[in-house]
Structure 1
């Protein structure tokens, strides 16, 4: 089992047995009542999906916080919105999911205007609410290096979501390709998994694009060309070179 999976399983254990650990075992006297964790890794590596799975496996709603809605240009409104959010989350025992944590805890330039100073007050208030929350808070970022180290130390766990390795990519291909869809005999999935570094989200997109091409021909067979075209799209979106893609 990977380190990432082990750490995620620990979150699941905490969610399912929190009351026993805190009350019956007396850990409430030693640790914070809530749990906050940082998910970090490239886009498409499963951070948001993992939060959703945690919610389903523990019977809790995952509430994705939209900071653009919570934050306000009017002084005092952001704190009011945050207070309402955390009060509702506490009552319903939500898993709070803050995407793009850089917006909250990212590195800032030297303060130059009054609003910059007030923004720091808002961050302090958010940290206060996070510290007092008794449920699970997940903050997610694509680049851990963008987060201020002082903020990183406030999380009880930092879970890395790395790019999948070759064997993991093969399992993703096998899992994502629908049973009803056939692959042309010219496609060697072992080779595809070895040569093309893709995330789970990218593999899903490739299968969708390839299936659409096959569907346009009224066929249920994905050809090598279909697959490569799907990979080409994902590589171009990621800014990767594709000069020799057809020759592989």
Structure 2
């Protein structure tokens, strides 16, 4: 599903949180980097191989009934609360902050996902869900999860999901795309990390405020899309949590 590309002039594009596509429907508030709710062409709107990047809030006791996916590597990262997952291949899980989940839809899979708390507990769920195109369509469906809490507490940039060969022994969850990796960092005030250079990059500030090496400040909900950029230094001006997709190819012609 992906294609290689020639190098172009480096660029950085800031997507303010207030400018993200907003979808509200009863128990769900979804802030989307790429419009996905409705009849949208995901490949046409993609950045690199990143098709979907939603920051969702789900009311207690609510969630999505059984629904079908195919040909997507679906990565879930929880910020508040917990997600209850069940799929048609018998996989179940309750995903909480610090735990990364990957569901490979492959040739087809049906699943449910919901706020794991009951209505009486009144605990909202905040979750970032991301879809990456697989290298090949029609693959075998699969599921994996891993707790990275200890790794994140040690500081620095942690690779939580990757299909890149160099990450095969790092403990990252594998995905079916050798050109994509998701890195996460939890930064205290004044701490910095350097994002790897990438033909395509997508930085998302999940919490707090950070400053980039060019002096640009990004707050919670802001994103930065890079093209053919070098290493980017990110410094926290408050406690912060960031998610960065490193991608080496694109879907767009």
Q: In which range does the TM-score fall when normalised by the shorter chain?
A: under 0.3
The structure with the largest alpha-carbon Rg is 1
Normalization by structure 1: what TM-score?
0.25
More helix by share: 1
